A and B are shown apart, each in its own frame.
Chain A
Amino acid sequence: MKRPIIAALIVGLLPASLAWGKPPSIGYTAPLGVEPGKATDVVFHGGDLAGPTGVWTSFPSTAELAPGVEKNGEDPAAVTYRIDVPAETPLGVAAVRVTTGEGVSNVRLLLVDDLPSARKAGDNKSLESAQPLTLPVAVDGACDAESTDFYKFSVAAGQRVSFEVFARRLGSALDPMIQLLTADGHELAYSDDEPSSGADSRLNHTFAEAGDFYLAIRDIRYHGGSHHYRLRIGDFPLPTVPYPLAASKGSAAEVQVTGQSVELAGPLAVSMPAQVPGDRLNVVAGYAPGQGSSWVTLLATDTPDQLEQEPNDTPETSTPVTLPGALEGRFEAPADRDYFSFTAAKGQRWVFRGQTRSLGSPGDLFMRLYNAEGGVLAEAQDNGTSEGSINVTFPADGTYRLAVEDTNRRGGPDLVYRILVEPYEPGFTLAAAAEKVDAPQNGVFVVKVTAARSDYNGPITLSVEGAGEGCTVSSNVISEGKPETTMHVTLGSSLTQGQLALVRIVGQATIGETDFRTTASTLDALRGALSGLPFPPAVLDGELALGVGPVFPEFFQIAAATPIVPLTSAGATGSVKVQVTRTGGFEEAVNVALEGLPAGVTAKPAAIAKGQTEVAVELASAAAIPPGKHPIKLVGSASFQNQPQRFIVDQVALEGPPIAIAFAPAGALPVGGKQAGTLSFAGELAPLAATATYESGVTRGADGPRAPELPGFEGDNTAASFSGIDKAPGDDRLTASLPLTAAGDYTLELWLFNARDLSLPNSPAISGYVFSRPGTPSAANAQPGEHLGIGGVESSPRDKLFFYNGEALVAGRTTLAINTWHHVALVRAGDQLTVYLNGETAHPEIQATLAKNYNANQITLGTRSDGYGPFQGRLDEVVVFDTALPPEKVQAHFNSAKADAPARDVILQDQPLAYWRLDETEGQVATSIAPPHKRLVKLAWKNLPAGLIAPAEVVLLDAQDKIDVELSAAEAVPPGKLENIVVAGTTLVSSGDFTAESPPAAIEINKP
């Protein structure tokens, strides 16, 4: 991901806020039922429904956007699908969801129903305005707050009619009550919370007389709004439960159906398929075709249940059963108590789990376990949605009895129960906190998973099935002893926008030697999504609907305010200032990290805190990094709405030192002998053009030596002008540093225009120094070096050149005419010093034998190197050679000025180190026009023992990166290994002198 690094530009790229899409939601469907064998146009009312991509149903179906509906698919509040339901689809409660390009909706329940649907008209708030119905019918409507809906219908004398409300069982918030009324408001029948119908209402009435009657329905609390219901009216049984409650898969069974108005001829024959979704089969019962049917739900099991055999009301008449297994029975009459006897072995630990209301029975179990002597081992009963369990370890081999009764000793044909008895095993159950999740394509969803542990306290590893190929999970371990984790799941690439996937979360642990696995239940989440429906359809349990939205939009960008960070030496520190631009409502912290750092460089993790827009990432370099720029990546990471995102800026670099140096000896160094070694250089090795610096006070643009007097120069050639006023040291002069070796020969040439009139009062003792190259001061010589000056009014040759080395002064012989250009050349060749004036090589102006006592590569023009003796006048065409020019060259150079050809070409042919025309009119730098070709590196050796001699400087030609040097060891140097030899090389780089330190090198000192 490449982004411009300029923050201002980034702001322009990101909108201030992003309108991110929301997944769809369904409030209700209309109708609340679909008929098998028909195509039904179902309107899904809700939000964010524009751009639908499909409908999911818990039963086989085909669905398409219903034709003929205006702007179908564009309305965020509703979408209509034509759902084609196969004729063989079993009746009962089913589930639907809608997907869009933004995700998947919440689950809604509706009925697969064989009654035709009608809609509530809406103005039926009184008996007088009751909505007429033609039976049989199922009316879909919603109760409004503080009101009652009235329906009117006609019956014949003796007609039997069933009324049944599906509301709570469809996850509606409605707590319905229904009243059957006569025309004068007299109540014939009433139903509020019918047992085992999940607080829904239902009643059956046989009308003694023909006529118009009324059915009133409201929320018992007078609540209303999204309080939807499907009111089924027809002639059908109102069954509660089947008995038995279960049938084994792939078997034929007979079940009795009990409840209100269950006037069936006999038991129903059921063929239980081998595979049943959710292990539940709805068994349909009806009286006559076209009058509507009803159903009870039968549990599909792997093995047959064992039924009680009445009479079994006493321990003596217990029904013998073999356990583990499943028992069933029912409390025929009030205070009925059922006994079961079985054998168990000492140490066996079993769990007895009651099942009543979850299977549709209104029962409320009380279980008690007895030993053979009639002593109570354990007892239990249900509580809320927990239906009671006994977890017992049998103390001895023997016969035991289980007694079961209704907690409140009720009796009746529908008080059926099932008790599942299984060997106990330590483990856990898992619950997912969501029944649906949405994630951007390739993005992340999070889901909290809670574990209920039983005798296992170790870690639980969670994985996900169905989230696409290559999906990954994190935070997926419920740590030891902990109850939960919030798992992050990154979708696999096979899932694309608008798709729906069904996802299972599986928890795994190794308990003892057992691989324990279980799927996280979604029942609690479904309860939450369905207005607290206690027992959501079992077929939905364990599957989270996953909706895939678009790729998550970018919600932040970062930029480096300091793209280049110099780290020029070991131990250097630096920082990268990073700025963030957030958008789309994102406000949280952004973590910033640097990637691709050179070895030895570390960066502290940093974050741009909420509310802040920048942070400095601190860098530290433990070792010197190589010269040059080292590109690194600046990585911002943040998470918004659980979607992690990274933003990478790659136009950031660390800058190493301009020059690096390394030293490698060629071999062992013999005591009293020599050994070569190689200095290696890297970095900006190209020789630099020598620059001189105009110190303050130097003025430019004065007439220089020029045509026509000196036709070798242009007619408008200018020169630098020096005031000659004794100001602070260092002012009014030019200084330069040159690749001059400490004791090497050299030549200085320049044109000089002496302007000081010594006849004036208060003229100085020295008229002024023109050129100076210092040495190292000592007690004996405070001003060593080579100082070329013009004598003044006292103790110096007045208006004549003189040479001074701190000890001796050698005067010239020619009085320099004032305000006239003179050519001066100073040539140092070994002990010989020669100064030529105006090309008179035959008669040098100064000639002396003087030992070299300079060692600096700095030169000064216009004062002495210590600032003394300011020169008054002009200088121009200053040239420095690192050789002693022979007289004929000096002659030729002087002559070239007089020739009618460019003088400089002639001079440059002799490869000077520097040639300053001093034509600059501004700036402090005087640039040499001589092509650079040499580099001087001064060496400082560290950790060398006394007597071990190493060179103090080397000169590199052009971009030479290796040079051999010689080390010598005095006799006194003790043999041994010197581990930490470091050489610091100081050389001129673009920014000035730079010292690079070599990594430590080792030298073996040995005896020859």
Chain B
Amino acid sequence: MNWQAWKRHAGRMLAMTLVGLITIPSQAISDEVEATDQAPAHEAIVVGTPARIEVFPAQFKLAAPGRQMHLIVTGHYADGSVQNLTSVAQVVSQDDKVAAVEGAVVHPAGNGATGIIVSVGGHEQNVSVEVCNQETADPVSFQYGTLAVLSKQGCNMGACHGSPSGKGGFRMSLRAYDPVLDIETLVREAFNRRTNLYEPEASLLLRKPLMEVAHGGGRRLKKSDPGYAVLRDWIEQGCQVDPADAPTCTTLEVYPTERILMRPAHTQQVVALAHFSDGSVRDVTALACFSSSDEAVATVDDDGLVTGLDRGEAAILVRFLDKIETSSMMFLKQVPGFHWNSPPENNFVDHHAFKKLEQLQILPSELCTDEEFVRRVYLDVIGILPEPAETAAFLADADPNKRARLVDQLLERPEFAQFWALKWGDLLRIRNAKVTVGGVHKFQRWLVAAFRDNMPYDQFARDLLTATGSTFENPPANYYRTATETNDCTETTSQLFLGIRIQCAKCHNHPFERWSQDNYYGIGAFFNRVQRKPGVNPEEQVIWVARAGEVTQPRTGQQMQPWLPLTGTAELAGEGDRREALVEWLVKPDNPFFAKVEVNRIWGHLFGRGIVEPVDDFRDSNPPSSASLLSSLADDFANNGYDRRRVMRNILNSRTYQLSSRKNEFNADDVKYFSHANTRLLSAEQLLDAICRVTGVAEKFAGLPSGTRATQLPSPDVDIEFLKVFGQPARETACACERSSDSNLSQALQMINGPLVHGKVRDENNRLRAQATAGKTDEQIVDELYLAALCRHASEAEMATATAHIANAGDRMRGLEDVCWALLNANEFLFQH
């Protein structure tokens, strides 16, 4: 379930809980739940003429009573397309005494071997099945049966009994991450009423979700659900805990792992197979939870049936207890009138971006104008608007290569380093309260120098992550001053350099991702020896690494070894600085996170939206909009010395970056494939600097020299209301999301009649007065204002309107002020486009 879906779901649960409290008949609510939970109706499947069919699995074993296997039938067509034919295939057992078939699900009947004949579209496929151990009782596994059911039914989700304080006095561990706690609460709490061994059907664990007894969570279970039988049997069998030597689930296999479906093909059954330590494989589709990363593109029902709704991609997340896998789905359809016009590709960025667009039948917009480009690239690269003279010079330049030249120039400007230091200053939480005033300036100065000198990103990360010594003498050491303890280091490092928001796993296994609580503290083991002590100077802090110290997992009490994502436990004996091992792993070119996160962050900055969005929330359930684009950028980055300027240059020089924000009929709905420029409000600092640039009146920030721009601010401690209103972050977290991009009424009020804008428009020394004093005509002044604010000349109509207004204003200056004010309040000024 992605975030949106979860939010909806949680909201519904909350509503139900509240309603339950005021005892409205809950049946009505549960009916609504039933209705909304229904899978969307889909069109009938047209089988057509497949070239061949494929059945998964080709052979399998049902090694215990009650096991089953979902078969997936796929039709392959001559044009290379595929279609899920499971629901329309005929599936017949060759021996009903060995295996019985219900739909496309095979159940055991008796020991033996037989074949299952699958036929559809004129093709037939025989799948062999072996059935054994039917005479041996297979008691319900607490872990892989009971808890799986409770998870599937949502009982232990965060909004219900999985919340830290539980619900209605009944608390379970969130999504069953703590079976020890769960057995306690299920069997022993509440005077054993939850599980009634003598009369299993009377157990509250069953009667509540059936709504036989009032249940704040509504009806969660039907007697016909497979889960009902699992729970009842488990109680009947004495609420047994799994023996210590019981096989454990090692991996979860999802089939298919990826699929591209072209309309009319638009559904896909997904199965989940759990592989156990004893080598057995169980079909856990009925016990697994399914969710879609983009429900506008595709939905998935409780049985794993995915239905495509629109063009696009969605990751289907399959979770079985703590195992999570995804199935990538792309849904295509022919768009009437679409014709790929093969726009020129400036570089590999365009190649990957356009390939995706062509596949999805989205037509990119035209190239933006020089006026748009100069404004866009100045704001994106150095954070400020060009001076009218700079704009004019660029527009007048006839060199066909002038855009690339401008990009190169801007990347070398001192403002570039300052602007990107601002961005990283946010992420590194540079502010007085955290690192002291001196620390702010030293750390920011280090950041500026890093961007100015184009410090390789691996070096940048290494300097930060392995920093020791005085925070004053060695500014990157402030990384460990802002992250004041091990957990903060774990979370900050994960978010900044791995793009993983791992905070959830501090208290429990991550509910939507593969990160477990063990993983969280395993990463913490790299940082646990980092210590902080006072330095000799007032306010100075010294970061040092202790020679011993281990992390203890608070739930299990287990001492955690350093652990690396996808690599596993790192053997790091001795007294050395473990962070060095972390960085060694991190900066390897094949690290799957490090380069991607940074190029995605850069991309997100330049496009207003990351290839993965949010830019620092990488997870299977949040796939990139173009995996190949992201990979190619990351590879290029990693293989070229982690040169961030190179990444920016590649992107800025791409046609994709230079596309117009004007949409066409084939990309009007696109918000994530970069088929057109994304209009967005200037950031707080960009906007304030832009207002200063247009009016020619600088803003004075307390404690900083005159002439300091907002985009040069070392910290938000200047306390400017305008900046706060426009989303300047307080730098409390390492999350890029702290910078708010939401629009609000206060912003409008600031722009329309706020003191800052008003003061600058009326300032005695502002641009328009200087122009007037220099003897410029109204037309000249208006044109200069347009160039300053919008990087273009005023159109004839605009000029006519403006000069007429000035002429009719009575007071020339008042009229000019009005024009200036109007420009500052124009969307074309307020927005990056």
Contact = CB atoms under 8 A, between A and B. Distances in A.
Given A177-B445, A384-B536, 13 more contacts: A146-B703, A175-B438, A185-B414, A192-B442, A194-B473, A198-B537, A221-B437, A221-B703, A222-B704, A357-B536, A408-B545, A410-B469, A535-B536
Interface of B: 414, 437-438, 440-442, 445, 449, 468-470, 472-473, 533-538, 540, 542, 544-545, 547, 577, 703-706
A193 B441 contact: no
A535 B441 CA distance: 24
Interface in A365-402: 366, 381, 383-385
A962 B547 CA distance: 102
Contacts of B469: 364, 408, 410
A603 interface: no
Given A146-B704, A364-B542, A408-B545, A220 B445 contact: yes
Contact of A534 (B440, B536, B544): B536
A360 to B, nearest CB: 12
A364 B544 contact: yes
Contacts of A177: 445
Nearest to B432: A221
A190 B535 contact: no
B544 A532 contact: no
Contact of A408 (B441, B468, B536, B537): B468
Interface in A166-204: 168, 175, 177, 185, 190, 192-195, 198-199
A407 B544 contact: yes
B412 to A, nearest CB: 11
Nearest to A185: B414
Contacts of A485: none
A718 interface: no
A194 B537 CA distance: 13
Given A193-B473, A222-B441, A364-B544, A383 B705 contact: no
A385 B536 contact: yes
Interface in A906-965: none
8 contacts: A148-B705, A193-B472, A199-B472, A221-B703, A222-B441, A407-B468, A408-B544, A534-B536
A148 B445 CA distance: 15
A80 B704 CA distance: 35
A220 B537 contact: no
B533 A383 contact: yes
Contacts of A312: none
A220 B706 contact: no
Given A193-B470, A199-B472, A384-B533, A146 B706 contact: yes
Contacts of B534: 383-384
A220 B438 contact: yes
Contacts of A223: 437
Contact of B705 (A147, A175, A409, A532): A147
A714 B158 CA distance: 131
Nearest to B539: A532
B438 A384 contact: no
Contacts of B442: 192-193, 220
Given A364-B542, A408-B469, A408-B545, A221 B536 contact: no
B441 A220 contact: yes
- Interface size range of chain A in the complex: 20 to 34
- What does DSSP make chain A's interface, helix, strand, loop or mixed? loop
Contacts, number: 68
A199 B537 contact: yes
Interface string A499-511: 0000000000000
A195 B471 CA distance: 12
Interface in A202-235: 220-223
Nearest to A379: B547
A226 B470 CA distance: 25
B544 to A, nearest CB: 5
Max chain B Cβ within 10 angstroms of own Cβ: one of A175, A366, A385, A535: A175
Contacts of B468: 407-408
A532 B472 CA distance: 15
B801 to A, nearest CB: 42
Contacts of A220: 438, 441-442, 445
8 closest residue pairs by CB, A with B? A534-B536, A408-B468, A384-B534, A532-B538, A193-B472, A193-B473, A146-B705, A220-B441
Contacts of A222: 441, 703-705
B471 to A, nearest CB: 10
Most buried by B among A385, A408, A535: A408
B533 A195 contact: no
Contacts of B445: 177, 192, 220
Nearest to B471: A193
Nearest to B535: A384
Nearest to A148: B705
Contacts of B440: 221
A408 B545 CA distance: 7
Contacts of B536: 198, 357, 384-385, 534-535
Interface string A142-181: 0001111000000000000000000010000001010000
B473 A195 contact: yes
A191 to B, nearest CB: 11
Contacts of B705: 146-148, 222
A368 to B, nearest CB: 9
A185 B452 CA distance: 13
Contacts of A383: 533-534
B295 to A, nearest CB: 51
A410 B543 CA distance: 13
A547 B537 CA distance: 30
A195 B535 CA distance: 12
A192 B438 CA distance: 11
Contacts of A175: 438
A551 B468 CA distance: 57
Contacts of B544: 364, 381, 407-408
Give the residue among B469, B536, B540 with the most A Cβ atoms within 10 A: B536
A222 B438 CA distance: 9
Contact of B449 (A147, A190, A364): A190
A527 to B, nearest CB: 9
A273 B542 CA distance: 37
A211 B693 CA distance: 35
A193 B534 CA distance: 16
Contacts of A357: 536
A220 B438 CA distance: 6
A221 B545 contact: no
A334 to B, nearest CB: 11
Contact of B438 (A221, A410, A534): A221
Contacts of A192: 442, 445, 472-473
A223 B705 CA distance: 10
A410 B536 CA distance: 18
A407 B531 CA distance: 11
Nearest to A199: B537
A672 B395 CA distance: 150
A146 B538 CA distance: 21
A742 B769 CA distance: 123
Interface string A755-793: 000000000000000000000000000000000000000
Given A408-B469, A408-B544, A408-B545, A221 B441 contact: yes
Contacts of B538: 532
Contacts of A410: 469
Nearest to A177: B445
Contacts of B437: 221, 223
A193 B440 CA distance: 14
A716 to B, nearest CB: 101
B537 A532 contact: yes
A223 B538 CA distance: 15
B455 to A, nearest CB: 14
A357 B545 CA distance: 19
A265 B542 CA distance: 35
A357 B469 CA distance: 13
Interface string A522-552: 0000000000101100000000000000000
Contacts of A221: 437-438, 440-441, 703
